[in-house]
A and B are shown apart, each in its own frame.
Chain A
Amino acid sequence: NAGVTQTPKFRVLKTGQSMTLLCAQDMNHEYMYWYRQDPGMGLRLIHYSVGEGTTAKGEVPDGYNVSRLKKQNFLLGLESAAPSQTSVYFCASSPAAGMYGYTFGSGTRLTVV
């Protein structure tokens, strides 16, 4: 009963470095989401996926890319990290749109120096 697993849990990057955050879910959910959480701003949607092989932009997609090659995995990439991308990143999944609660991972705390 792992639910949604995010790796890594913590990471420090230097400006300009790249990295990939991995999200894995074992609930056979169709929908997956990447949010970032910053103090006082709630969660903001970066990208989302409505099924294997699909991705779409959310509210704050610039500087990020995603891939959903397998239904259970949703990867978030930072090609050239910037200090403005310092944040806590959460992955979530849902069986379908709108009518179901999300299952969240425990988050990745990323610091870009």
Chain B
Amino acid sequence: SQQGEEDPQALSIQEGENATMNCSYKTSINNLQWYRQNSGRGLVHLILIRSNEREKHSGRLRVTLDTSKKSSSLLITASRAADTASYFCATDGDYGQNFVFGPGTRLSVLP
């Protein structure tokens, strides 16, 4: 089934730095989403970007989408220790009724 693949698998940065995570997918999509998961918790929806959009912002988050390259990126600016979490991209699934999740990027923000 179609699936996004995040890169890198793990990322460690210092507080205050920017963090960039990438997601590549295989076939055309209608929508792509990014989620955050803190350790031991459920996923929290961050941003949904449609295939006809190139960039969306939400607070310190910026998501870009390049449909020609079948890729998306999530940028977290001025990172904080509280941003430490796993981040997942999700793309429209084969079933048309759901999203398919990648394996995620583990972000560690060091104080």
Bitwise, B42-53 to A at CB < 8 A (1) or not (0) is 111100101000
Give the residues from 76 to 99 in chain B that come closer than 8 angstroms, CB to CB, to chain A: 88, 92-93, 95-99
Q: Give the total number of A-B pairs whose CB atoms are below 8 A apart.
A: 65
Query: Is A111 part of the contact surface with B, judged by Cβ < 8 Å?
Result: no
Which of chain B's residues have a CB closer than 8 A to the CB of A101?
Answer: 33, 35, 45, 48
The answer to whether residues A42 and B97 also contact, given A99-B48, A101-B48 and a CB cut-off of 8 A, is no
Contacting chain A: which of B11-19, B60-68, B100-108? Answer: B100-108
- A residues 91-107 in Cβ contact with B at 8 Å: 92, 97-107
Q: Do A43 and B101 have beta carbons less than 8 Å apart?
A: yes
On chain B, the number of residues with a Cβ less than 8 Å from chain A's Cβ atoms is 27
For A104, what are the chain B residues with a Cβ–Cβ distance below 8 Å?
42-44
Q: How far is the CB of A22 from chain B (nearest CB, A)?
A: 15
Which B residues are CB-close (under 8 A) to A56? 95, 97
A41 to chain B: closest CB distance in Å?
Answer: 6
Residues of A within 8 A of B48 (CB): 99-101
Judge whether B3 is part of the interface by a CB distance below 8 angstroms.
yes
Given the complex of chains A and B, what is the CA–CA distance between A44 and B88 in angstroms?
Answer: 13
> Which of chain A's residues have a CB closer than 8 A to the CB of B93?
45
A58 to B97 alpha-carbon distance, docked (Å):
10
CA distance A98 to B97 in the complex (A): 6
* A23→B3 CA distance, assembly (Å): 25
Chain A: residues with CB nearer than 8 A to chain B?
4, 31, 33, 35, 40-45, 48, 50, 56, 58-59, 90, 92, 97-107
Give B contacts to A, CB under 8 Å.
Answer: 1, 3, 30-31, 33, 35, 40-45, 48, 50, 88, 92-93, 95-104
